[in-house]
Amino acid sequence: MLERFRRFWTSLLAPVADGLLRAGVSPDAVTLVGTLGVCAGALGFFPRGQLWLGVLVVTAFVFSDLIDGYMARRSGHSSRWGAWLDSTLDRIGDAAVFGGLVLWFSGDGDDRVLAALALWCLVMGSVTSYARAKAESLGMQATGGIAERADRLVAVLVMTFFSDVLDLEILLALTLWVLAAASAVTVVQRALSVRRQSLASS
């Protein structure tokens, strides 16, 4: 479902991406600006309790993740550097989203349990990505799982928005509990996958 979502928005934003290419803007610049925007939205608004506003800002810049890839393919300038930069900055953006929630719940949000859950989601998200990257560096695969990056990001942004607009913190609380568990399961799934591949090749 999320892949169809990605294809839809990529085609919708294609004219914008083409316009940026004609203006001489590089895909790497879009990647960098998008990450800075995500960090500004999450760390500038979430800690102050302006959750719905932060989500709108973050969402606006998240679309850069669709545009930069399209621009790189369209211009024929796809490179290992661009792929590395995009993947690395994605980790920073994701950390800013969950880090902003950690700051809110450990401050005026006054809920240490939810702060700990948000921190756990942040850490497990990074471990999930690292598990895949390390496996690939060893010639194996560690993809899939019940909570991949797109799933985690869409879930936390949507529920953060509605929990604030509807004044129902329970929506975000439940989402963090589910993501905390699902992220841990995903890490285990990838570890088992790598273990099976390692045994099969030995």
The yes-or-no answer on residue 164 being catalytic is: no
pLDDT band at 1 (very low <50, low <70, confident <90, very high): very low
Which of 28, 68, 90, 164 is flagged as catalytic? 90
pLDDT digits over 60-77, tens only? 898 777 787 778 877 777
What is the percent of the chain with per-residue pLDDT over 70, rounded to a whole number?
Answer: 95
Domain residue limits, the chain: 2-194
- Two structure tokens written together for 198: 């390692």
Range 107-139 burial, b when 16+ CB lie within 10 A, else e: eebeeeebbebbbbbbbbbebbbebbeebeeee
- The pLDDT of residue 43 is 97
Would you tell me which CATH number, out of the four given (2.60.40.10, 2.40.160.40, 1.20.120.1760, 1.20.1730.10), belongs to the domain 2-194? Answer: 1.20.120.1760
15 in Cβ contact with 70 (< 8 Å): no
pLDDT at 127 over 70: yes
Q: pLDDT-based confidence at 4, cuts 50/70/90?
A: low
Instruction: Give the pLDDT confidence score for residue 70 in this predicted structure.
Output: 79
b/e 49-60 (16+ beta carbons within 10 angstroms → b)? ebbebbbebbbe
Average pLDDT along the chain: 89
